[in-house]
Amino acid sequence: MSSIATKRLAKELFTIKDKGTPAGITLLHAEDLMTWYFTIEVLGESVYAGEIFALRFTFGPRYPIDCPEVVWVVDDQFKAPVHPHCYSNGHICASILGNEWSPVLNVQAVCLTLQSMIASCKKKEKPKDNDSYVKRAPKSPKDTMFHYDDDTV
């Protein structure tokens, strides 16, 4: 991993461990600088109120120039939110994880954005193309050319 990525990730992790995370967001573990896990709980009034989801961040050597791979953890304990921008395999269609990524964004900003995206949704529903996407999806959502055209959910 490049020294820029290492320095940036070390600084972000130190800040998280020193100052904590925003309400409803918890660092599960970050045993190395390459992969971090968080839980996100939707707070307040929402169709997802009280639900807890887990995110995995995987960082490449060009972070923060390149965005991290961010996916919902889908296993025996956690499921992806049933949401129009969240596929059942954990992939997330969010412009900040694609063409609107900026090196000024950090892990906490991504977590807050996804927490807000879920909390503001009015109806639990999968993406219209969920089943076909999951069948043909690449291993990494970064290899998908998502079309970002729905900012209403």
Residue 17: other Cβ atoms inside 10 A: 11
Q: Sketch out the chain's domains with CATH numbers.
A: 3-126 (3.10.110.10)
Catalogue the active-site residues: 93
**Burial class of residue 74 in the structure, from the number of CB atoms within 10 Å of its CB (0-12 exposed, 13-18 middle, 19+ buried):** middle
pLDDT score recorded for residue 64: 97
**pTM of the predicted model, to two decimals?**
0.93
In tens digits, the chain (153 residues) has pLDDT values of 668 999 999 999 999 999 999 999 999 999 899 999 999 999 889 999 989 999 999 999 999 999 999 999 999 999 999 999 999 999 999 999 999 999 999 999 999 999 999 999 999 999 999 999 999 999 999 888 877 665 555
